[in-house]
Every structure is written in C-alpha cells, then in structure tokens.
Amino acid sequence: MTGERLLTRVRNRGTVRRYSPRTVDAYVRWIRQYVRFHGMQHPSALGGHQVGEFLTWLARERRIAASTQNQALAALQFLYRDVLEQPLGAIGGFLAAKVPHRLPNVLSRDAVRRVLQQMDGAPLLMASLLYGAGLRLSECCQVRVKDLDLDRKELRVRQGKGGRDRITMVPDALVAPLRAHLRQVRALMARRIAAGGGYVALPGAMDRKAPHASRQWGWCWVFPAAREYREGLSLQRRTHHVHQTVLQRAVAAAARQAGIGQRVGCHTFRHSFATHLLEDGYDIRTVQELLGHRDVSTTMIYTHVLNRGGRGVRSPLDVPKG
C-alpha cells in the first residue's frame, strides 16, 4: 500500500466513523509526520516502540503541548486500530509533554465593547455571538439558518466539540441586526441560485436522503463565504461558510485599533462570556451547560439549558452599563 493510498484509507475510515473533517485532516497530518520521522517506512512495519520514539521526539525536540501530543497519539492509535487493523496495545516509555497551568485570558466588559466598536458587518455580528452566546469559533462559522430561532432567542449548536449538540441564547441586542443580516444573506443566495449555483454542503447522508435540501433556505449558512467554489464530483457551484481566518484577522485588527495590551483572540470572547456570567451570579453548572463542556451530560444540556439557557439566562452582552 503506497503512502497516498494509506492516507486515502485514513480519510475514508474517518468519514465512516463520522469524525469531523478537521479531525480527519489533523490525523492525516500526524500520520504523515510519523512516516517521515521513520524514514518513509510503512507504518505496518513499525509498532508501539516506534510510536513511543515519535511521541518522545515531539515532546523533547518540538516542545509541543500535552494536548497536541495526545492528538498525535490518538491519530496513530486510529491508524493502527481502524485502518491497518494492527492494534498497538500498551505503548509506554515515551516522554510525556508537560501540561501547562495557564489561566484563561479574560477581557473586562469595557475592553470587550472597545474591541467590538472597532468592527462592523458580519465580523461584528460573529464576534458579538462569540461573546454574547459563548460560541467557539468553528461553531459560529458553521451556524445554519434553521438553527437560529430569533423569536425564541435561541441558537442550537450542532455537532459541537465531542459531537454534542447544545442550546444557548441569542442576546436581545443581536436580534434586530441578525434579522437584517439574514435578509441580505437570503437575497445573496437567491441571486446565486438564479445564476445556477447556491448549493451548500449537507451533513452526513443528507446529500443522498434529501439532495434538494442543499438549496433550501434553512440549510444555508448564516455567515456564507464571499465566493462560491466548484465541488469536485458534482461540479456544483457551492457556497461554503466564511473561513475562520476571516474573523481571526478581524478580531486581531480590532484589538490593535482598540489599544488592548493583552493578547486577544476569538476564544477570548468565550472565556469572557463564562467569567462575566459567573460574576453576575449565575450557577456554574448552568454556565458549563451553555459552554457545552465535556463533564455535563447530553441529557442535562437538553433539559436544563432548554428551560433556563435560551430564555432565562441574560446574556452579558445585554447587561446595561453602570
């Protein structure tokens, strides 16, 4: 089996296991590095000892974080267990990367507003959702129209980290701007459909089960990319959601213009969301549910957040000054 054939099998197996595209891409990168580290030998000729050597090299020479080393290990375990069908068993003996003890970077309420004041258009709406609803960057980029209920002021996050769904709030301050934005997006998609495009990628097996849904309004991205692309197999002119780097660059530029001295990234808004809710006296369990953290069960997310998260918790974006 050649290298490219092996990586194709990795991608196919990851798709069958319903891993996210980002996870599959990360696994492919680690497997490619692993093969190069061992002089382009085929992984089937290697084993647990060689995996340990690679992980030790990553920790000692590359000085990667513990979470990054864990991702590399998960990629190689997936390769041997699910693709090569040669489970590694116990590896042991490798140098584990150190787990850093860092506090999350949190902005004051005033600093958040100063950054947001330097933004406009779709990036402003997206950054406001990161802070006002506690979204991750990827979750914000991938919101579809059908998951945004402005009447109930709820946003349903699909396939968040760990493949879990959850519900969070839509701040009162964003309802009117989002309605205006959606009118513009709908007009854009109508123009693209009239020109023969306007398709969007559908999750899972939806392409086969409901192929016409790829042009339905509910499946459209709330934040579509400025340009269409040509899908490889069907040659459809599709619209992707806006790329994460668009918002990352906008946030970095806004923080510089606002004169914020500390490091500000998209995830800083999520940290600030959680901290400010706790400062306002909200129960920590409720905050965990709104954030979709791993230690809260799916059932508790649905029952507890449905009753309090979407309609009872007031977003920090809506708290008046003074």
Tell me the pLDDT tens digit for each residue of 96-152: 887 665 667 888 899 999 999 999 999 999 999 999 999 999 999 999 999 999 999
H or E element, residue 123: helix 121-133
Q: Which of 54, 59, 48 is nearest to 31 (CA)?
A: 54
Percent share of the chain, pLDDT over 70: 90
Beta strand pairing call for 224-230 and 237-241: antiparallel
User: Has residue 89 been placed in a domain?
Assistant: no
Cα–Cα distance measured from residue 73 to residue 55, given in angstroms and rounded to the nearest whole number: 7
Reduced to 3 states (helix: H, G, I; strand: E, B; else coil), residue 233 is coil
Catalytic position from the list 215, 293, 308, 314? 293
pLDDT band at 3 (very low <50, low <70, confident <90, very high): confident
Polymer length in residues for the chain: 322
Give yes or no: residues 260 and 128 share one domain: yes
Tell which wins on pLDDT, 208 or 301.
208
- One domain, residues 74 and 196: no
Binned at pLDDT 50, 70 and 90, residue 256 comes out as very high
Averaged pLDDT score across all residues of the chain: 85
Return the bridge partners of 224, or none.
Answer: 241
Same domain, 18 and 128: no
Alpha helix segments (H runs only) across 134-262 = 137-141, 172-194, 206-209, 244-257
Backbone angles phi, psi at 169, to 5 degrees: -90, 160
163 and 33 assigned to the same domain = no
Q: Are residues 113 and 56 in the same domain?
A: no
Residues 174 and 246 in one domain: yes
3-class secondary-structure state, position 306: helix
Active-site residue, 209 included: no
Q: Are residues 36 and 181 in the same domain?
A: no
Residue 136 falls in the annotated catalytic set: yes
Residue 322 — very low, low, confident or very high, per pLDDT cuts 50/70/90? Answer: low
Question: 236 in a domain, yes or no?
Answer: yes
Looking at the fold, whether 23 and 128 belong to one and the same domain comes out as: no
- Catalytic residue flag (residue 267): yes
Output the domain CATH number for residue 139: 1.10.443.10
Which of the 8 DSSP states describes residue 315?
P
How many CB atoms neighbour CB 313 within 10 A?
19
- The boundaries of the domain holding residue 50 are 3-83
Number of domains in the chain: 2
Angle between helix 66-78 and helix 21-37 axes, rounded to 10 deg: 90
State the pLDDT at residue 7: 85
How far the first Cα of the chain sits from its last, in Å, is 66
Asked whether residue 20 falls in the same domain as residue 119, the answer is no
Annotated catalytic residue, options 27, 34, 136, 271: 136
Q: 199 - beta bridge partners?
A: 238
Asked if 215 is an active-site residue, the reply is: no
CA separation for the pair 269, 261 (Å, rounded): 15
pTM of the model: 0.74
Assess if residue 88 is contained within a domain: no
Q: Mark whether 35 and 144 lie in a shared domain.
A: no
CATH number at residue 47: 1.10.150.130
What is the distance between the alpha carbons of residues 279 and 257, in angstroms, rounded to a whole number? 27
Cβ neighbours, 10 Å, residue 202: 17
The residue annotated as part of the active site, out of 270, 271, 276, 304, is 270
> What local confidence, expressed as pLDDT, does residue 23 receive?
86
Residue of 9, 161, 215, 314 with catalytic role: 161
Q: Are residues 268 and 155 in the same domain?
A: yes
Of the residues 113, 156, 164, 302, only one is catalytic, namely 302
Kindly state whether residue 207 falls inside one of the protein's structural domains: yes
32-57 pLDDT tens trace = 999 999 988 999 888 888 899 999 99
Name the token pair of 248. Answer: 């990352």
97 within some domain:
no
pLDDT recorded at residue 304: 36
In a domain, 134, yes or no: yes
Q: Is position 57 within any domain?
A: yes
Q: At a CB cut-off of 8 Å and minimum separation 6, what does 255 contact?
A: 115, 118, 264
How many angstroms separate the CA atoms of 267 and 112, rounded?
12
271 in catalytic set: no
pLDDT at 213 over 90: no
pLDDT for position 193: 94
In a domain, 92, yes or no: no
Strands (E), the chain: 148-149, 154-157, 166-169, 224-230, 237-241
Note whether 132 and 59 are same-domain residues. no
Tell me if residue 212 is catalytic.
no
